[in-house]
Each structure stands twice: as C-alpha cells, then as structure tokens.
Amino acid sequence: MGEEKVAAGYKLLSQFSFKKAIEKKGGFRASGFIYGLVALENMGFISNVLIMFTYFMKDLSFNIPGAANTVTNFMGSTFLLALIGAFISDTYISRFLTVVIFGIIEIVAFIIMTIQAHNTNLHPKPCGGKESCMGGGIGVMFYTSLALLALGSGGVRGALAAFGADQFDTSSQKGLKAQGSYFNWLVLFTTLGGCVGVTGFVWVSTNHGWWWGFCLATIGSFLGFSLFLMGKPFYCIQVPKDSPFLNIARVIFLAVRNSEEKLPENSEELHEHNSNKAFTGKKLTRTPQFSWLDKAAIVPNKSNASQLAAYEVCTVTQVEEVKILIRMLPIILSTVIMNTCLAQLQTFSQAQGNFMNRKLGKHEFPAGSIPVIPLLFMTILLPVYEFLFVPFARKFTKHPQGITQLQRVGVGLVLSAISMGVAGIVEVKRRNQSRISPLEPISLFWLSFQYGIFGIADMFTLVGLLEFFYKEAPVGMRSLATSFTWISMSFGYFLSTVVVDIVNAVTKRVSSSKKGWINGMILDDNNLNLFYWLLAVLSMINFGIYLLSAWSYKHKKEEDGLFATEMDSTTTSVAMVSASEDQLLKSTTEDVKE
C-alpha cells in the first residue's frame, strides 16, 4: 500500500511540474515573439507599399492615376482579406496555424515579385501614357503576385492581433490592463519596423534597384515568421469554436423566418442560456433597439427550448451580439474617409516628392522614405501617451484610459482633416516654385508638415479603434471585431480609387482644358491641391457625422453575476487540484517516512 502511494506521489509531482510549465505560457513573454514578427514583417510590407507607386511608374509604365489606383486597390484588398483570416481562425483552425499558413503565402508572393522586378524581360513595354501597359503572361505574373501578397498579408493581420490578445488572462484587473497595453505595443512595434523599412529598405531600392526592396522583404518576412514559430512553446493556443459569422447568419435567418411572429409581452419568454448549464461568457441584457432581431429568440409553440437545435432558436445574448455589431457600423464607416486621406500620403505625396529637392546635406533622401516622419511621430508619442498623457488626463476625466476610445478616434479625425488642408497649401507652394524656377525646387521636407500631423492622427485613431472594437465586442466575436479596423482601412483605400475616378470624370467635363485634376505623367499640369482640399472638406463633414454616431452609440449592457469564463473555471479547477495534490503529497510523504 505504501509503494502505491509513493508511485502516486511521483506521478502527481510530474503532473504538478507540467501544470507549472503550462501556467508560464502566455503573457508578454509570448507576445514578444509576436512583436518580433510584426516588426520584421512590416519592414518589408510597408516599405514595398511605398516603393510600389514609383516602381509601377518607372519600370512598369503606369501613369500617375493608374499607379495610384493599383496601389490603393491592392491595399484595400489586403485589409479586406483580413476577414478571411479572422473567419478561418475562428471556425476551422487555430489562429496560430492561420498566421503560419498565410505567412507562407506572403513569402511566396514576395519571391515572385522579386523575380519580376529583377528580370527586365518581365517588364511591359511603354504604351503611351495609358493607365496600365500590363498584358499577357507578364500581366498574369504581376497580378498573381499582388493577389497572393494581399491574401497572405491580409490573412496574417486578420488572425495575429487577436492571437496576441489571447495570451493574456483577463480574469484579473492586472490581466485586463496588460491586454490593453498589448495593443499599444503592437502598434509601436509595427511603426518601429516601418521606420527601418521606409528608410533602409527604400534607400536600397531607390539606389540599387527595386528588386532589392522585394528581396529584403522576403528575407525579413522569412525571419519574422521563423521567430514566430520559435515562440510556439510559450503560446496559449485556443481551439476554434463556433464562428461569429455563422452566429450572425443564424440570427438573421431566424429573425426573417419568424418575421410574422409577434414578440411576447414578457421579454423573459424569449430564449436565453439556461443558468444551470455551463456558459463561458456574459449574458447580455435585451435592448429595445433593432427589436425585429429579437424574433430569432422566439421559442416555437409547444417546444422545449433545451431540446431544440442551434439552428431552430437563438438566445437573447446571441441576438444582442448581432445588435452590437450593427451599432458599430456607423463608427466603422465614419473612419473610412480618414483612411482615404492616408492613401493619398502613400501615393500622390510620393509623386510630389519626385519633383522636389531631396538633398539632405550631401546625401539624397528617397521620396519613398518621407513617410518615416509619421512613423517616427507614432514611435515617440505612443510611449508618451501611455506613460505621461494617460495618468495626467485620468486626474481630470477619472477615466482609466485618460480619455475614451471614441474621443481618441474623434481627435484623429480632426487632425486628418487638418493634414489634408496643409497638404494642399504645400502643393501650391511646390507647384508655384516649380513653374518659376524648375531647377530650384523646394525641399522634400515641406511634406513633413502633412505627414507629421497625420502621424499624430493615426496614433490616436488606430489604437483607439483597436481598443474600442476589442473591448466593446462580445467575447466570442472579438477577433471579428478587431478586424473591423482593417475593414475601415480597406474601404478607405477602395474609396480613394473611386474618388480619384469621379473627380477626374467630373472635372474633365467642367474644366476649360478638358483635363481632370489628376492626369498624365507631369504633376505640374495637375490640380492636386484642389483634390487635397476636397478631401479636407469631406473629412470635416465626415467628422460631423462621426460626432452624431458617437453621441448616439449605445454601449453594451451585461448582466452581473452571470459571468463564468473558461479562465475562471480553469483557475478554480487548478486551485482544487492543487489543494488535493498538496494533501495527497503530504500523506504520501508521511507514508514514505514511515
């Protein structure tokens, strides 16, 4: 009997050691590998987005609007495809595997782009200033590489942010604060990687060939994803559950199917999670808004709700989760114009830089590297905001984050409008100087005003949106909600293409020259300043709409006392097991002594 207890004691000791090893997973140790991936991957991605515009014009014979629209369409597709990564990681495979698979696709895309950029035989011949000269096999190779890069980069972004947030135990106040800081540091390492890329990578590309930029991006991505794989022993990897997309579809389907049904006078008759069953989440209080969706929670006559399949009835909580997403839509749409402005800084502002004095002392500063200015602003101001502004503002607002997430977004929207107004003034100065003295253009660093202001705007808005969508979303939909930030950016880039085309179509008809504001290859013949000011006006109108949306937004309401997260239950179980282990180990030790 004593030998059996000794054996049991050794077995428990080994289990105890394993349990301790598991408890060390997650946290900032795990997210450190994610920060490394973000920095290395963005060195190549951001820098190549910036050189694409010039590369398309100089080597691939695109004209100005053609190159701009190709870049913005690519960026829009990239961020839109983040939904694919979010869907797959929530439904079929873990977020970890999703990042790895789409990372491989991204590396393959960079390899193809490197080959095409290096081999001049794979470049199209000039075709007289048309928007695009792509065709045949060369065109297939070009657009295939862009599609793969958009798919790979988008898929990674759709899963990576939520995967990093998974590494923190939110059952405690300390874990919640750590998770909030995680998003700030994620954006910080993104900008740090971007700073290296837009200075070092862009300089190499500009001076030694565009293919070097794609080659360095390939190497950076490979190293980043290799580092990410090395961190696997430290990650908390969650098993996928029901996809939020499927839950949304189920609620809408049942609401439509029951559209002729009458809602019960007593809302408690609507179906909800049985309190006797394990429920890993917070039950949401029913709200009167969008009441037609409540019909999805109507229990069919003479039916036992507990025996019905998931596709036959939804719970009030599931209905409220869909309502939350609908209430978020105005906030998402109100930030689209700002991302349209961002697209201009990555395209037309570079065209400006090509016609400006790029000398920095004895060295020539590449036009594609000018976006390092907003990245530097974000890199410096994010720690300042975290460690200085938040504690200072908290004394007056009593808000744990200094100001609310929606207030941060509002500040960013105003600054983006100011940035576009300044951009128009700088373009007037650049064009006037170019016409008066073409050999003495103004300095490239005049663009730093518009870039610097927008960098501050982006710092407020990007982190504000990530925090807002993650904290406001239901627990089961946080990966989907986080991807809303990328959807806003996607719509902004697509809208940029639409706005450019509409502005050109309208101004061609009304101008005496029968030319649009943005046309051809010569920037001095364009009215880019008017286009910037149009965006400034649209941004201020958009800000007014945002104020109404933020003011009328109804925050989610959760029922108190009904929360039982998986982490809470796991912690309780571990505590119980630890107590029993300690008791058994104590008795085992006593037996051994005997």
Strand partners, 443: 357
**Looking at the predicted structure, is the pLDDT value of residue 99 above 60?**
yes
* Shared domain check, 545 and 439: yes
Q: Give yes or no for residue 52 having a pLDDT over 50.
A: yes
For 385, which DSSP code? I
Residue holding tokens 């990674």? 156
- In the predicted model, is pLDDT for residue 508 greater than 50? yes
Indicate the average pLDDT of the chain.
78
For residue range 157-211, list pLDDT tens digits in order: 888 888 888 788 766 666 666 766 787 788 888 888 888 888 888 888 888 888 8
Q: Which of 213, 241, 269 is the last residue of a domain?
A: 241
Same domain, 562 and 552: no
The confidence score (pLDDT) of residue 303 equals 64
The residue among 523 and 437 whose pLDDT is bigger is 437
Percent of the chain with pLDDT over 70: 81
Are 90 and 140 found together in one domain?
yes
492-504 residue pLDDT tens: 888 888 888 888 8
Helices marked H in 278-398 — which ranges? 316-334, 336-345, 348-353, 372-384, 390-397
pLDDT at 572: 33
226, 336: one domain:
no
Return the SS3 of 562: coil
Interval 140-160: pLDDT, tens: 899 999 999 999 999 998 888
Q: Which of 74-78, 144-148, 305-309, 377-381 has the highest mean pLDDT?
A: 144-148
User: In this structure, are 316 and 399 located in the same domain?
Assistant: no
Is 340's pLDDT higher than 80? yes
* pLDDT value at residue 546: 92
Domain end point (choices 241, 273, 295): 241
C-alpha radius of gyration, the chain, whole number: 27
3-state secondary structure of 301: coil
pLDDT at position 21: 41
Of 130, 114, 111, nearest in space to 61 by CA = 130
The mean per-residue pLDDT over the stretch 222-243 comes to 85
**Are 2 and 34 found together in one domain?**
yes
Q: Mark whether 227 and 129 lie in a shared domain.
A: yes
Q: Write down the pLDDT at residue 581.
A: 38
Among the ranges 245-254, 417-426, 565-574, which has the highest mean pLDDT value?
417-426
The whole-number pLDDT of residue 163 equals 86
Report pLDDT for 16. Answer: 42
Q: Which whole-number Å values give the CA distances from 387 to 65, 96, 223, 383, 402, in the listed order?
A: 43, 31, 31, 6, 11
What type of residue sits at position 270?
A: L
**d(C-alpha 349, C-alpha 432), whole Å:** 16
Q: Binning pLDDT at 50, 70 and 90, where does residue 417 land? A: very high
Of the given ranges (211-215, 322-326, 389-393, 518-522), which has the lowest mean pLDDT?
518-522
CA 304 from centre of chain: 42
Q: Which of 186, 465, 197 is nearest to 346 (CA)?
A: 197
- For 223, counting Cβ atoms within 10 Å of its Cβ (0-12 exposed, 13-18 middle, 19+ buried), the class is middle
Into how many domains does the chain fold?
Answer: 3
Tokens of 447: 């663009």
pLDDT at position 164 is 85
Q: Which of 43, 44, 52 is nearest to 72 (CA)?
A: 52
pTM of the model: 0.72
Asked if 476 and 409 sit in the same domain, the reply is yes
Same domain, 26 and 161: yes
- Encode burial over 565-577: b for 16+ CB neighbours within 10 A, e otherwise: bebeeeeeeeeee
Please indicate, yes or no, whether residues 286 and 217 belong to a single structural domain of this protein.
no
Which whole number is the average pLDDT over 227-231? 92
pLDDT bucket at 475, cuts 50 / 70 / 90: low
- Give the containing element (helix H, strand E) for 363: strand 363-364
Closest CA to 343 of 542, 47, 71: 71
Residues 207 and 304 reside in one and the same domain: no
Given this model, what pLDDT does residue 560 score?
42
User: Which CATH number does the domain housing residue 523 bear?
Assistant: 1.20.1250.20
Higher pLDDT, 446 or 398: 446
Residues 99 and 159 in one domain: yes
pLDDT recorded at residue 24: 64
Return the higher-pLDDT residue of 512 and 167: 167
Question: 513: domain range?
Answer: 329-556
> Among the three residues 190, 214, 241, which one is the final residue of a domain in this structure?
241
> What was the pLDDT predicted at 5?
52
Q: Are 267 and 73 in contact (CB under 8 A)?
A: no
The yes-or-no verdict on residue 273 having pLDDT over 70 is no
Range of 173-182, 395-404, 553-562 with top mean pLDDT: 395-404
pLDDT in tens, 62-72: 877 788 788 88
Task: State residue 520's pLDDT score.
Answer: 64
Q: Mean pLDDT lowest for which of 48-52, 82-86, 270-274?
A: 270-274
Q: Is a pLDDT exceeding 80 seen at residue 481?
A: no
Q: At 347, is the pLDDT very low, low, confident or very high (cuts 50, 70, 90)?
A: confident
Asked whether the beta carbons of 366 and 206 are under 8 A apart, the reply is: yes
